[in-house]
Structure 1
């Protein structure tokens, strides 16, 4: 009878029951992983964002004038914050998977009774938590130093979470695909960094030539940065609703690909 009960439990687990304990353990492991080195994962991004703002303010701030009706530094701050969020979210998931693959302990994640969706959600929990904490730290700094109070805080939070989930999912895809650290560095340098820098972080896309403007609107990160800019300063280059639709679709698509890779064991199982 005990064996029969165990078989029923397995059947229920296989056809839909969520392994909440395993999901919670994986998510908490990912959160503790970046909290253990908080000076590198939380304090360092805050310092980097502050340096970006200081350097741009010293170099071109006084001569740049207003952008979209606000001072240049106020315009720049939300873009710097979102760029930092997505870079850290990507780094959290991609580094976790690549390090586990290189060290040979990725089996510790694959062996427990976790479905592909549960593994995906566990990794994304760490990315979203890290991205949100980074955004909170930078946001508090902006309020204290520049007196920037979010115009639409809920909208800003939605785009921050979407951005962290989107780049967290992309980090999973990259981490599964890469087998070496140099492959991951190439993905970061040639895909993630250009997406972040060429998305209106440091400028309004309305100032670009028509061709570059069209290309910028094909970049999902543009809508993430534009959405956070709307949430923080109340102005944006495009409709926040359009940005929400594009970002939601892009996040769903990337996470669907990540789920398929985790579910099949692509480049994870020997």
Structure 2
């Protein structure tokens, strides 16, 4: 497979953080080690320690790139300014924190390298299974080093994972009315780092997201598109780091994306 010069050091860093921080804290967190940043938005001591270690390592690997981490942005939102300008690492130290804090799977460590708003490379590590999904722009998508191509899994009606928590109530109701007989709703893993691989491997055909925070989507969007799928905003604009607006549809193929958009949005 094509090997990016950063593959080995980035994956080694992620696995070290998984081994030293994320897994030792899994199912051992005390109540005082789980905090709420906002309604339903949790952070743990492991998120913060993971981001600190990842940030230090990434700055060493590529000093000319700044690091934009989820927890750093929570403390200083201005770090997002100019995210689509220059070279930047986008870091989600633990994606699926709600699962992690509850002591359940899935959760993931995610990193993307972005240049002027275009994702160049992305890595998604499942620490428990040690499964690595990664992609490089123009060079395909890989799971544990093996090239992968998105394959729609349903033979009857396409399946869809709907992330409803942040979806406006009126849109949620409208979509619920449109689904019967057209799409089959499937479980949401509460972890973008698991949802994107599920689309590629055929466990889900389609996913709808409302929020489009860069650390949630930059690695997975590249992984999906390099595998032959499509992700775009409701109006068809391609996903781009730093792009404005809410709402994303991800699908295992461009044809499924068109079908989903017609059903969901009309």
Sort the TM-score into its range (normalised by shorter chain). 0.3 to 0.5
* TM-score relative to the length of structure 1: 0.32
Length-normalised TM-score, structure 2:
0.32
Higher share in strand: 2
Larger Rg, first or second structure (1 or 2): 1
Q: Which has the higher helix share?
A: 1
